[in-house]
Structure 1
Amino acid sequence: MLAQFTASLPSAAGGQQNHTHSIQVLRRLLAYLGGGEPITEHAVHSLVALEPRASLQRVVFFLHEHGLLAPASDRPAAVSPSLARLDPARTDARHLQAIEHKLHRFPQAMADQLRTWVTVRRGQGRRRHPPADFTRIRRDFHVVLPVLTAWSQQGLDLRQITSAHVTAALTDRQGHQARGVHHVLLSVFRALKQERIVFTNPLAGLSLTTPVRLPEPLPSDRLRGLLDSIDSSMGRLAVGLVAVHAIKVTDVARLPLTAPDLARGTLRLRLRDQPHTVYLDTLTRHLLDAWLQTRQQRWPASPNPHLLITTLSAHHPALPPVSHCALRRAFDQTGITPRQMWRDRVLNEAQHTADPVHLVHLFGIHPGTAVRYVHAAHPDKALPSIR
């Protein structure tokens, strides 16, 4: 086992001399616990805590690949949350525990009503449907948490909420914040009415009108020297893909290692569940070559199938894509958000053409989005709106 583990270690590890310590951790695990039965994550964490220079991810991934890692279900506090992705049941339990922690702030009546909403969102209500992801449920719960807290402090539960309460809550908010609260409250009361907890929906017939803001170009002086301000080859590639080819940063993070075709100078990905091909320019090809060389030098044996990886994800047992924070750092160095950069690129292309079909083919965006950007670039041209 030690020979196999040593052979799986990369020859270069970005300057981190931790191979000896990782081998020592695995040696102790096998010497004390043997290799015949799975080893609990708690045991691995305990030894790595005594040897902080060892690579936890390498040891855990090796044991997982060889069927020697046993999730320690009786010790949830000792397990890193990132490793919970190996076990979907444990992930669901972790999310439920976080939701329950927030529900304890509310009176019993409102807490039970919100539990009903969570049950419906998970597809377990009277009408069966595909379950919503726990991450989305927690995000929606966070959006309406201030409104629900204010209502509970007034001694109200969701059965007593009227259209006047909802209107007052929306009036105190503007823009995206108001739309988010309206959307989640609509989901809450629809679920409660479906389960016959409430008899009327206070949001029925209540529409939220917001002005449509047209995209505006970024000042040219903010676009100069973008790549020079970024200190990593991965960050420069991510910014280049967004700024030049208008690939959204979430799609950049999920790019597989097989996406680039260096012989043809293309990048193959899926946008809106459809295959899409990006033809790389000279600058982006240089950025891609620089990153692939860095990736090969630092993590030549990484099993992670994604194009962009970090020290944490290179040998993570769940093989996740690069995190949002890792990519956001590069955009923070430029002073421009990924959304602003993407919007400026699409608008710039729309200024050179009045054909929304061209934008759809070039960037893989929705036809309605293409028409909106053509409207912004050419307000004198009247195009039919697409829903």
Structure 2
Amino acid sequence: MLRSIFRALKQEQLIFRNPTAGIQASAGVHLPLPLPSDRLAGVLDRLDGSASRLIVGLVAIHAVRAVEVARLDLADADLARRTLAVHRGEHTHTVYLDDLSTHLVADWLRERRRRWPQAANPHLIITSHSYRHPASPQLSYCALRAAFDQIGLLPRQVWADRILYEARETADPVHLVRLFGIHPNIAVKYVHAAHPDKALPRIR
């Protein structure tokens, strides 16, 4: 089934080679589990500050990895087109912002301009320590974790839960690849976790 997914993606020119060629499936794959609904309810309302809401929001809504959020530049956020460019090596995944995400980005940009109008650091999310640092560092892991610590969750848990939720809704690994820009075998893993008793549809 994984090979058929890769063939479908290659036909649509989403990938250019089949990395599963010659690979045999292994047993004992660890499948993700959903978070209890009460741990995610009102997550954004429990966060302090527009930067924390944007960090957690991008992970929780669009499954952008926290480390990718830290690497974002100002130029990657295009509010006019309502898009966010997430760079992954030589590939760029385009996130199409919904109303809430657009609001989160706009709120943070207003605060950023208000607090540090002369900031030299080109990264989207900066702090009082990094905004004029000569090396223009990206957001630190500690700063990232501080946002998630407010809700008692790890970035990885929130990221995984978002993909698992979408997998439950669609049961379509190709859709997960397109929406989140994840690797096809990760998409298959989450569809299996969401629908353990359902065979994947044949992809042509």
Q: How does the TM-score come out when normalised to structure 2?
A: 0.82
Q: Note the alpha carbon deviations across 1:132-164, whole angstroms, 9 max, x for none.
A: xxxxxxxxxxxxxxxxxxxxxxxxxxxxxxxxx
After superposition, the C-alpha distances for 1:82-121 in whole angstroms (9 at most, x for unaligned) are xxxxxxxxxxxxxxxxxxxxxxxxxxxxxxxxxxxxxxxx
Q: Which residue, out of 330, 333, 343, partners 2:150?
A: 333
Q: Which residue of 2 aligns with 1:225?
A: 42
SS at match of 1:334: coil
Distance 1:217 1:242 in 2: 15
CA distance in 2, matches of 1:307, 1:270: 13
**Deviation at residue 383 of structure 1 after TM alignment:** 4.6
1:80-229 → structure 2 map (5 Å cutoff) = 211-229=28-46
Deviation at 1:210, TM superposition (A): 8.8
Aligned residues: 176
1:320 aligns with 2:140: no
Instruction: Please state if 1:347 is matched with 2:164.
Output: yes
Which of 86, 111, 117 matches 1:269?
Answer: 86
**Which residue in 1 is equivalent to 2:95?**
278
Q: CA 1:272–1:381 in structure 2 vs 1: closer, same or farther (change >3 Å)?
A: farther
CA distance in 2, matches of 1:341, 1:256: 22
Select 1:375's aligned residue among 189, 192, 195.
192
Partner of 1:311 in structure 2? 128
Report how far residue 268 of structure 1 moved.
1.2
Structure holding more helix per residue: 1
Deviation at 1:327, TM superposition (A): 1.5
1:364 counterpart = 2:181: yes
Find the residue that maps to 1:327 and give its secondary structure.
helix
Residue matched to 2:69: 252
Q: Distance in 2 between matches of 1:210 and 1:229?
A: 40
Cα distance in 1 for residues equivalent to 2:56 and 2:182: 19
* Superposed CA offset, 1:313-359 (max 9, x none): 10111111011111211100011110000000000000111211110
1:57-79 C-alpha deviation (Å, 9 max, x unpaired)? xxxxxxxxxxxxxxxxxxxxxxx
C-alpha distance in structure 2 between counterparts of 1:241 and 1:226, whole Å: 12
CA RMSD, Structure 1 to Structure 2 (Å): 1.6
Distance in structure 1 (CA, Å) of the matches to 2:81 and 2:69: 19
Q: Unaligned 5+ residue runs, structure 2?
A: 1-25
Alignment-derived partner of residue 54 in structure 2: 237
DSSP-derived class of the 2:87 partner: strand
Provide runs of 4+ in structure 1 moved above 6 Å. Answer: none
Q: Are the counterparts in 2 of residues 233 and 290 from structure 1 also a CA contact under 8 Å?
A: yes
Structure-2 separation of matches of 1:355 and 1:225: 28
Whether 1:289 aligns to 2:98 is no
8 Å contact kept, 2:32–2:160: yes
What letter corresponds to residue 315 of structure 1 in structure 2?
A: R
Offset at 1:215? 0.6
Alignment of 1:36-75 (within 5 A): none
Read off the aligned partner of 1:321 and give its amino acid letter: Q
- Report 1 or 2 for greater relative contact order, CA contacts < 8 Å, sequence distance ≥ 6: 2
Long gaps (5+) in structure 1: 1-208
Name the aligned partner's letter for residue 247 of structure 1. Answer: V
Deviation at 1:371, TM superposition (A): 0.5
Under a length normalisation based on structure 1, what TM-score does the superposition of the two structures give? 0.44
Q: 2:85 touches 2:94 (CA, 8 Å); kept in 1?
A: yes
Cα offset for 1:271? Answer: 2.8
Are 2:171 and 2:200, in contact at CA under 8 Å, matched by a contact in 1? no
In the alignment, the residues of structure 1 paired with residue 27 and residue 134 of structure 2 have an alpha-carbon distance, to the nearest angstrom, of: 45
Q: Is the 8 A contact 1:271 1:364 kept in 2?
A: no
Task: Determine if contact 1:238/1:327 at 8 Å carries over to the other structure.
Answer: yes
